[in-house]
C-alpha cells in the first residue's frame, strides 16, 4: 500500500465511521422495537434523549461519508502518476479493478446518506418525531454498505502494485471498445445534447412548480426527475461534455 496522506485519511475515516454506525445500528434496533411517542415512561424519555444525540452524531458521520466520495475520486486521480500507462483516475482504478466496486458503492452511499440527513433534518423539526423508526430502518440498510465499503477500500489500496502496466481511459471510453463505457462514448452527439438539455429544463421547471405550488404530486415528480437527470448527466458527461473540456474529439473520459 502507498503511504499517501489521502489513503490514510480514507481508511482511518472509514474505520471510525463504520464503528460508530455499528453502535448506532444496535441502538437503532432498540429504538425501532420500543419507540412509543405516546408513552411518558422513563424508558421512552431515555430513548428520546438517545435518539436526539445519536441522530445529531450520525448526521456528521454520514456527512463525512459523503465527503469521502469526493476524497476517493481525488485520491485515485492523484495516484495515476505512480502507474505506468495511467493518465487519470481510470488508470488507477484499472490497476486494481476492486476500485471500481468502491467507486460505485460510494456513489450509492452518497445518495442514501443524503436521504438520511434530509429525513433527520425534517424529523428533528417535528414535535412528534414522525420519521424516527423509518430513518433508523434506513440506517440499518446503510450500515452493511459502509462495512462493505471499508472492506473493499482496504482490498483496493492494499492490492495496488506500482510495477504493473495499467490501461487507461483511451481504451475504456472508446467507441471501438465494448461494455457500457464504450456504448456511452458512442452515443450520437446531437440527440445526446437534446436529451440532456430537455432533462435539465424539465428538472428546473418541475423544481419551480414544486416551490410555488407546494403540491405532493409535484414533489414525487421532482424525485423522479432527479433520478432521470442523474443518469442523463452521466451519459452526457461521457458522450459530449468531456469533449469540450479536453478539446479532443475522441477523448470521452469523465475524470
On the question of pLDDT at 108 being above 80, the answer is yes
On the question of pLDDT at 156 being above 60, the answer is yes
Cα–Cα distance for residue pair 91/100, rounded to 1 Å: 11
- Grid cell of 53 as nine digits: 444525540
pLDDT digits (tens, 9 = 90+) for 166-177: 666 666 666 655
Task: Tell me the DSSP string of 180-239.
Answer: HHHHHHTS-HHHHHHHHHHHHHHHHHHHHHHHHH--HHHHHHHHHHHHHHHHHHHHHIII
On the question of pLDDT at 153 being above 70, the answer is yes
Q: What is the pLDDT of residue 144?
A: 93
Q: What is the pLDDT of residue 34?
A: 76
Cα–Cα distance for residue pair 229/151, rounded to 1 Å: 31
* Number of CB atoms found within 10 A of residue 14's CB: 22
pLDDT, the chain, mean = 80
pLDDT digits (tens, 9 = 90+) for 23-34: 888 888 888 887
Q: What is the pLDDT of residue 178?
A: 61
Angstrom distances, CA of residue 48 to CA of 54, 164, 166, 206, 249: 10, 54, 53, 37, 58
Which range of 77-91, 95-109, 176-190, 195-209 scores highest in mean pLDDT? It is: 95-109
What is the average per-residue pLDDT within 5-31? 87
| pTM of the entire predicted model | 0.81
Cα–Cα distance for residue pair 195/218, rounded to 1 Å: 21
What is the average per-residue pLDDT within 67-89? 79
Q: Any idea where the domains of the chain sit in the sequence?
A: 1-165, 173-255
More confident residue, 166 or 133: 133
DSSP-derived secondary structure letter, 6:
H
Separation of CA 218 from chain center: 25
Amino acid at each position: 500500500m502507498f503511504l499517501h496522506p489521502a489513503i490514510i485519511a480514507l481508511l482511518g475515516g472509514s474505520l471510525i465511521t463504520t464503528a460508530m454506525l455499528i453502535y448506532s445500528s444496535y441502538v437503532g434496533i432498540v429504538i425501532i422495537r420500543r419507540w412509543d411517542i405516546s408513552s411518558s415512561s422513563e424508558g421512552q424519555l431515555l430513548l428520546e434523549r438517545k435518539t436526539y444525540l445519536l441522530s445529531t452524531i450520525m448526521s456528521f458521520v454520514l456527512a463525512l461519508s459523503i465527503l469521502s466520495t469526493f476524497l476517493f475520486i481525488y485520491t485515485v486521480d492523484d495516484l495515476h502518476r505512480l502507474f505506468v500507462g495511467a493518465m487519470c483516475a481510470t488508470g488507477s482504478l484499472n490497476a486494481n479493478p476492486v476500485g471500481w466496486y468502491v467507486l460505485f458503492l460510494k456513489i450509492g452511499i452518497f445518495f442514501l446518506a443524503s436521504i438520511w440527513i434530509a429525513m433527520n433534518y425534517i424529523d428533528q423539526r417535528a414535535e412528534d418525531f414522525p420519521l424516527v423508526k423509518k430513518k433508523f430502518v434506513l440506517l440499518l440498510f446503510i450500515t452493511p454498505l459502509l462495512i462493505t465499503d471499508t472492506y473493499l477500500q482496504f482490498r483496493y489500496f492494499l492490492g495496488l502494485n506500482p510495477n504493473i502496466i495499467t490501461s487507461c481511459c483511451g481504451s475504456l471510453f472508446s467507441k471501438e471498445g465494448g461494455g457500457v463505457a464504450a456504448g456511452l462514448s458512442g452515443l450520437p452527439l446531437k440527440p445526446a445534447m437534446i436529451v440532456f438539455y430537455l432533462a435539465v429544463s424539465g428538472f428546473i421547471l418541475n423544481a419551480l412548480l414544486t416551490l410555488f405550488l407546494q403540491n405532493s404530486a409535484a414533489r414525487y415528480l421532482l424525485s423522479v426527475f432527479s433520478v432521470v437527470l442523474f443518469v442523463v448527466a452521466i451519459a452526457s458527461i461521457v458522450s459530449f461534455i468531456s469533449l469540450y473540456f479536453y478539446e479532443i474529439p475522441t477523448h470521452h473520459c469523465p475524470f
